[in-house]
Amino acid sequence: MRLTFSSLLGLVAVLTAPPALAELRAVLVGVGDYLVLDADLKGPSNDVRLMAETLALRGVKPDAMTVLTADPTGLPAGVTTAPPLRTDILAAMEEVAATSTPGDAVVFYFSGHGAQAPDMSGDEGGGYDEILLPADAAGWEGAIGAVENAILDDELQAWAQGMLSRGVQVVGLIDACHSATGFRALGGAGVARVVDEAALGIPDDVTPAAGNPVPPLSGDFVFLYSSQSDQRSFEYPMADGTWHGEFTLRLAQTLQGADQASWAQVFAATTEAMVQGPARQMPDGEGTLLQAQVFGTGAAAARLAVEGGKLSAGLLHGLAEGAEVALYAGPAGGEALGILPLGKVTAREATLSGPVPEAAAWAEVVSTPPPKPLVLAAPVRADAADGMDYTAWEAALAPTRPAPGQKPDLVPILTGGTVALAGADGVLDPAGPGSSPRITPMPGESENEATARTLETAAHGLGLRAVLAGAAGRSLTGKPALTVAVARRAAGPGCGAVAEAAPHDPADGVNPCDQLWLTLTNSGGKAQDVSVLYFAADFTVSPIWPSQNLANRLAPGESVRVGLMIEADSTVGLEEIWVLAVPADPAMPRLDLTGLADPGAMRDLAGTDPMTLWLESRLPLDGAVTRGFSLKPATLTMIRQVVRVTPFAE
C-alpha cells in the first residue's frame, strides 16, 4: 500500500527548480541602539552594512534594498534607509511585498536581539512566540498581552506566506537568539544577542494560550538562523576592534566566495567556519530552496565535511560501504581532486578507502552500490489445481534461491497468476485476502523486471527497518524521549467527508482515505531531532515529517502535529509508522532521517550487524570532536506504531 502524506495541515510540496528570477529585493534590519531596553549591541550596524555589500556583490541592486539602521554611514550608494523602529520595519516589509511579482526573490535580514514571549494566540507548539526586538521595543504590556513593539514570528510568517502564495521566493536570514537557554561563555569577549523574560518584565503567572499550530509555509523559501532554538547567538570584536555577529560574518564571507553554490552548501560552509571560531553556536537552516542555487535556478549536490580520512556522515545519512565520493577542496564549485570508495560505515561516520588528497575537505556522493539481494525460499504453489502457468515466474525467482541451510527472508507463493511475498513463516495473507504484497508487473514490464524491481524495494525497506530497530536504544531513566498521541478522522463511504478527530489506536483498523494525526511531544529534558517515516505493506518507505526541509528539532515540552492520509486504493495489510528521535547535539546540525526513505540511500544492509555498527560509532575517537562534529552520537529512539488497513468497514 502507498499513502498520500501531509505535514501539519498542508500537503507535502514537491521541490522543483525555481524559475529564473526577475528581480532581487531586500529588507535589511540592524538594531544596536535600543531606545527603551538596556540592551545595546555593537555589531548590528556593521552587520547590516556588510550584508548590504554582500548582496550587492550577489546581484541585488542598491535601489532594491531598504536598510533600517541607526548608522547608515558606509552603505552602498542608492539604498533606501530608515530607522529600525517597528513601524518603519513593517512599512518596508509591506512595500517590498507590494512591489514584488511572481519569479522575484525577497531577502529579509535581521541583526539584533531576539527573545521569547508567551504565545497568546495558541498557535505555537511550545507555548511561546519567537520575537524580534526593534529599536523601540519595550517591556511586557499586560493590556495587549505582548511585548510592546516586538515583531512576532506570526507576523513574519503571514508576511512571507502572502508573497509565497503569489510565486515570490523568500529568503530569511536571522542573526538573533531564539531563546535564553544553552548559554556558552566566550571568556568575556562576546555578547549574546538575547533579552530574557525578566528583562522584558514578563510576569511569571502569564499562561500561554492553548490552540492548534499554524500550517507550515508553502512555496519556494529558505531560512537560515544563527543558532539552534536552545542556544544563544553571539557578536564579538575582530582584530581591528570592529564588532560583528559570528553568523553574519561567516555567512557573508561564504556568500562572497561561493559561486554557483546551493543554499545547503552555503549553510554547510558557514557552519564549518563557525565551529572553528570563538562562538560555539550551531546555526540552523530549513526550506524548500535549501538544495537550489543561491539566487539562481537548478539544484546543486550536497557536500559532506572530510577530516582525517573520514566523512562526518554515515548510515543515518544514507551512506554505506562501497559508495563512491568525489573529493573537493571547497564546499561548492571547483575541480574534483579524486574519487574514492567508502570503507567502514557506522551510524554517523564513514571511512575513505585509499589515499586522500591533502587539500580534500569536502565530498559528494557520486555512486552507490546495488543492494544485496534478499534471500527467497523456493516458490510454493498456493493451489496446485488452479491451472495457471507459472513457468516465467519460477524462472524469474530462480536466482534468489537460498543456499543449503540459509534462512530465507521471504517465501514466494504462486497464487492467482502472480507471486505473493509471504514472511519467513510462509503464511499467505495473514491480515486478510491480498495482505501479502504481490509482484505486479508495470505496463511493458516482464516477470524478470517486475521481480527485480519489487525485490530491490523489499531489500531497502526490510533492511532499513532492521538497521533502525538495531540502532534504537533504551532510555537510562526508563522514560521515553518522545510521546505519541494518535487521532483519527474517519472518511465516509466512498471516501466521503471526514469526521471530527477522535483518539484512536491504528492497530484497531483504518480505512482508505482516513486521516491519522500524530501529536509528537518531547517529554524528556533534552532537545530531540524527530523524523517520521511510513513503512507500507508493499515494502515501500515514505517520508512523512519533516517535509520541505523544515526544522525538526523539538525543545523539551514542545509538540508538533503530523498528519497522513491512507490512499484511496489501499488494500488489506499491516503497515507501520516509524517515529524516530535522536537527542540533539549542540555541536552538530539537526538530523533529518527522512532521506533514508529513498531506496538509493541505504545500500548493502543485508548481513550487516547494525547494533555493532551503532555501538562502534558511539566510541570517542581522538578527542571526541573534530571540525565541530561529535564522534559520540546519542541513542536513537524508535517508536513503531502498527497500522492495520481494512478497506471494508468492520
Grid cell, residue 454, equals 519489487
pLDDT of residue 603: 36
Looking at 407, 439, 459, the residue that finishes a domain is: 459
More confidently predicted of 93 and 138? 93
Domain check: are 480 and 508 in the same one? yes
147: domain CATH number is 3.40.50.1460
Can you tell me the mean pLDDT for 490-498? 85
| Domain limits for position 74 | 21-286
- Express each pLDDT in 208-221 by its tens digit: 545 555 667 889 99
Residue 374: name the closest of 262, 453, 256, 294 by CA.
453
Tell me: pLDDT of 103 over 50: yes
Can you tell me the mean pLDDT for 468-493? 75
- Express each pLDDT in 378-420 by its tens digit: 888 887 767 788 899 989 888 766 666 678 888 999 998 899 9
Domain check: are 500 and 560 in the same one? yes
Domain check: are 349 and 417 in the same one? no
45 and 321 in contact (C-beta within 8 Å)?
A: no
Can you tell me the mean pLDDT for 485-505? 88
The three-state (H, E, C) secondary structure of 57-107, written as one string: HCCCCHHHEEEECCCCCCCCCCCEEECCCHHHHHHHHHHHHHHCCCCCEEE
Can you tell me the mean pLDDT for 124-145? 71
* Residue 470 covered by a domain: yes
150 and 164 in contact (C-beta within 8 Å)?
A: no
* Residue 143 covered by a domain: yes
Domain check: are 488 and 598 in the same one? yes
- Over pLDDT 70: what percentage of the chain? 74
Grade residue 192 by pLDDT with cuts at 50, 70 and 90: low
Q: How many domains, the chain?
A: 4
291 and 264 in contact (C-beta within 8 Å)?
A: yes
* Residue 447 covered by a domain: yes
236 and 186 in contact (C-beta within 8 Å)?
A: yes
Stated pTM of the model: 0.66
Looking at 339, 367, 395, the residue that finishes a domain is: 367
Phi then psi for residue 224, to 5 deg, are -115, 130
Looking at 341, 367, 393, the residue that finishes a domain is: 367
Domain check: are 446 and 466 in the same one? no
